[in-house]
Amino acid sequence: MLIDMRKALALTAMLVIILSTSGAAQDVKTVIEDASKAMGISGLSSITYSGSAASGNFGQSRTISFGLASTAIRNYTRTIDFTQPASRATGNTLPPAVPGGPPPQPGTLDQLITPANAAWAQQLQIWVTPWGFLRGAAANTATVRSRKVGGIAYRVVTWSPAQTSPSGQTYRVVGYINPQNLIDRVETWVEHAILGDMHVEVTYSNYQDFGGLKAPARISQKQVGMETFVAGITVARANPADLAQLMTPSSAAGRGGAPGGGPGGPVAGGAAAPVVASEKLADGVYRITGGYVALAVEFRDHVVVLEGGQNEARGLAIIAETKRVIPNKRIKYVVNTHPHFDHAGGLPPFAAEGSIILTDDNNKYFLEQALSSPRTLVGDVLAKSRKKPKVEGVVEKMVLGDDTRTIELHHIEKLEHSDGMLVAYLPKERILFTADFNIPGTGQAISPSIATLVQNIERLGLDFDRHVLVHAPNPDRPITKADLLALAKQRQDVR
């Protein structure tokens, strides 16, 4: 009798679980269907929408966090073919003006996302749209819960795409459906070399009716809380008859990424191992080439590396070459010249080594928070090391030294390119090390940054024979102080 009672209770419990699961599945199905009906996406297989837009210079602006410079995009159009899935964004671009520089030149946006380059960083541009979100939720196992945000009662639907992250973790797409059954917001997370699990959030507002299709008049995308893309939509069409033409890129079309509504900067993983070489500039000073140039500088009981490279692969390569030419000494410091993503992407391997990251004090908080963020999607050496990055800020000047040599780190004033730029000076070896004060190629204009560098060199009294650049000139050749002064004078004469 007792056994029968236990069986009955177990059967009842199983029925409750099955029924509650079925109810939840039915609930989310109904929520998706109601939203799809309200949005007018029944039978929707493709869409095109147009207006004007602007894309924030994410990871490359003068200030690395808020207050991004932006590129205007006129005649902005995005077309999505959900059957592939694929997307094409087009428009006429005008980058921001640089004080003291030449007038900005108009350009063309033509970016194609196809299944052939289906990294989540690009594919999410399809699935975070209101229509893509609902299609993805209907095609995948979704869940729903209720949540009140800002006084609005939302049905919050979550689903995961087939792709998985480099760490093997699944991605999540979360959509907020308002009481009118319209999509107010969609968010997801994507791996990023610097920012770890980078939060991408897109909000949609002021929906308009375009022949039964609902489309937002305003789109705003934020990445880690910074608005990096905004668009005003004036036209939208469902299942356009000229889809093939709209999806055919020009011969010079780009592939994925920002601008146009997608994450910018280095996405973690996937980079090929670079070819590395080194040359001895002086006793204990090595110039490491094969990518963004770095310097490895030997001290009595440790090594300082100037510039960590543009991505994880380059950072690992610099570390390996440093250990080869200067064996059996720890890399105590790595100096980040400035926080632009292509110059900070190689820092995580150094953080995993336990090296202290030295950066301009204007960047300290950003890099500290970014590199300490969760990295569950990234799967890189820093994530695996579980180490907490150590970041120190340089206020105006820092001197690293012992009885063998010194390195001076100096803040560069009044630089439009970055407000967090450091240069390194080795007095004993009479070497200056800089990033992004580039030597122009034949026919190229001289950057106003050159004049700013010379002004700072004169202010600081830096006297050097060799100027080592992160971006080596083409052809790679020695650069002297005289070369730098001649460029600054040439630019002044042209003006």
In the chain the first and final C-alpha atoms are separated, in Å, by: 100
- Mean of pLDDT values over 21-27: 55
In this model, does residue 410 exceed pLDDT 60? yes
Question: 314-343 pLDDT, tens per residue?
Answer: 999 999 999 999 999 999 999 999 999 999
Query: What integer pLDDT is reported at residue 259 of this predicted model?
Result: 45
Residue 180 pLDDT: 97
DSSP 45: -
Q: In whole angstroms, give the CA distance from residue 186 to residue 149.
A: 14
- The whole-number average pLDDT for the span 345-352 is 98
The pLDDT, as a whole number, for residue 22 is: 43
* pLDDT of 457 above 90: yes
CA torsion 256-259-265-266 (nearest 10°) is 10
pLDDT surpassing 60 at residue 144: yes
**Over 80: is that where the pLDDT of 260 sits?**
no
* Residue 111: pLDDT over 50: yes
Does the pLDDT at position 21 exceed 80? Answer: no
pLDDT of residue 219: 98
Evaluate whether 445 touches 481 at the Cβ level (below 8 Å). Answer: no
CB 68 within 8 A of CB 229: no
Give the pLDDT band (50/70/90) at residue 5.
Answer: very low
Residue 476: its pLDDT value, please?
A: 87
Burial 357-379 (b: 16+ CB within 10 A, else e): bbbbebbbebbbebbebebebbb
181: left (phi over 0), alpha (psi -120 to 50) or beta: left
How far apart CA 287 and CA 285 sit, in angstroms, is 7
Average pLDDT of 226-230?
95
Does residue 270 register a pLDDT over 90?
no
Of residues 7 and 472, more confidently modeled: 472
**Mean pLDDT score across all residues of the chain:** 90
CA distance 334 to 296: 9
- In this model, does residue 58 exceed pLDDT 80? yes
State the pLDDT at residue 463. 95
Asked whether residue 13 carries a pLDDT value surpassing 50, the answer given is no
Rounded (10°) angle between helices 120-127 and 130-139 = 100
Please give the domain boundaries of the chain with CATH numbers for all domains. 34-255 (2.50.20), 277-494 (3.60.15.10)
d(CA 458, CA 88): 49
- Predicted local distance difference test score (pLDDT) of residue 105: 86
∠ CA 35-160-46, rounded to 5°? 50
Q: CA 176 from chain center: how many Å?
A: 25
Question: Distance between alpha carbon 134 and the CA centroid of its chain, in Å?
Answer: 26
Give the pLDDT confidence score for residue 475 in this predicted structure.
83
Q: In the predicted model, is pLDDT for residue 175 greater than 60?
A: yes
What is the pLDDT, as a whole number, of residue 477? 84
Mean pLDDT, residues 244-260: 70
3 state SS of 99: coil
State residue 444's pLDDT score. Answer: 82
Sign of CA pseudo-dihedral 95, 100, 103, 107: negative
CB-based contacts of 395, cutoff 8 Å, min separation 6 = 361, 411
Please report the pLDDT score of residue 102 as a whole number. Answer: 73
Looking up tokens 């003291």, which residue turns up? Answer: 100
CA dihedral 228, 124, 135, 45 (to 10 degrees): 90
95-104, 234-243, 350-359: which has the minimum mean pLDDT? 95-104
Quick one: average pLDDT of 177-188?
98
CA distance 384 to 375: 9
Contact 29, 122 (CB under 8 A): no
Residue 118's pLDDT is 73
Q: What CA–CA distance (Å, rounded) separates 398 from 396?
A: 7
Distance of CA 14 to the CA centre of its chain: 47
Calculate mean pLDDT across residues 341-357: 97
pLDDT of residue 443: 76
Q: Are strands 46-56 and 70-81 parallel, antiparallel or unpaired?
A: antiparallel
Q: Are 161 and 138 in contact (CB under 8 A)?
A: no
Poorest-pLDDT segment among 22-36, 105-119, 449-463: 22-36
Neighbours of 210 (CB within 10 A): 17
Compute the average pLDDT of residues 134-163: 96
Dump pLDDT digits (tens) for 416-445.
999 999 999 999 999 999 999 988 887 788
Give the pLDDT band (50/70/90) at residue 18.
Answer: very low
pLDDT at 65: 85
